[in-house]
């Protein structure tokens, strides 16, 4: 059961990045995602450039420089990383932390270090998910403190759990409704 949820999370992220619905994610898809974080979200030009460098690094870690990846390769790549490279201070951990911070900043319009429900909806819109009801529902689950906001640490924790935790937990829908 936990394995199935984890694979659905990865399939969901894959689907969000597969901009053309081609059944593979390419470097162009990643570039389109960065552009969405800039145009739909609130990345500055410097953050946009940092995003390009960070996602290129993640691409190389995950995919060893290939030009595209299928869903099965995406899941298998994550499975291998789950086993091999979760060590604190690893290049993967550092790059994921930077990616999480940049995605958070894309939705933090006021730059106050906390996402409101509206900010979280912007994050989802950057991923192509425009479902206010779902955003509200998941936002409440992710707002661990109950203060009506998700701080950067809560977001980062949810982002890491989304990618690497096998258990069924609130972060499973961080990137929007799971694909079926």
Mean pLDDT of all residues belonging to the chain = 89
Q: What is the mean pLDDT of residues 32-61?
A: 93
Nearest to 55 by CA among 12, 100, 18: 100
Does position 86 have pLDDT exceeding 60, yes or no?
A: no
Looking at the DSSP assignment, which residues form a beta bridge with residue 68?
Answer: 26
User: Which CATH number does 2-173 carry?
Assistant: 1.10.238.10
Confidence of residue 129 (pLDDT cuts 50, 70, 90): very high
Confidence of residue 61 (pLDDT cuts 50, 70, 90): confident
Where b means 16+ CB within 10 Å and e means fewer, 162-178 reads bbbbeeeeebbbbbbee
Pick the more confident residue, 63 or 100. Answer: 100
pTM, entire model = 0.90
Looking at the DSSP assignment, which residues form a beta bridge with residue 25?
Answer: 69
Q: Where are the domains of the chain?
A: 2-173
Does position 138 have pLDDT exceeding 60, yes or no?
A: yes
Confidence of residue 89 (pLDDT cuts 50, 70, 90): low
Distances in Å between the alpha carbon of 61 and those of 8, 56, 121, 137, 168?
Answer: 21, 9, 29, 33, 26
* % of the chain at pLDDT higher than 70: 96
């Amino acid at each position: 059961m936990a394995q199935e949820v984890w694979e659905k999370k990865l399939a969901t992220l894959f689907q969000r990045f597969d901009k053309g619905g081609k059944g593979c994610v390419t470097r162009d898809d990643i570039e389109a995602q960065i552009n969405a974080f800039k145009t739909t979200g609130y990345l500055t030009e410097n953050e946009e450039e940092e995003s390009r460098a960070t996602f290129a690094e993640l691409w190389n870690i995950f995919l060893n420089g290939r030009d595209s990846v299928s869903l099965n390769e995406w899941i298998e790549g994550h499975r291998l990383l789950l086993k091999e490279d979760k060590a604190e201070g690893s290049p993967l951990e550092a790059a994921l932390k930077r990616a999480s911070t940049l995605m958070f900043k894309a939705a933090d319009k006021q730059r106050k270090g906390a996402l409101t429900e509206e900010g979280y909806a912007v994050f989802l819109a950057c991923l192509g998910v425009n479902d206010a009801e779902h955003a509200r529902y998941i936002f409440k689950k992710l707002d661990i403190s109950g203060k009506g906001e998700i701080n950067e640490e809560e977001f980062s924790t949810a982002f890491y759990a989304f990618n690497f935790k096998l258990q069924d937990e609130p972060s499973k829908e961080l990137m929007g409704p799971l694909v079926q």
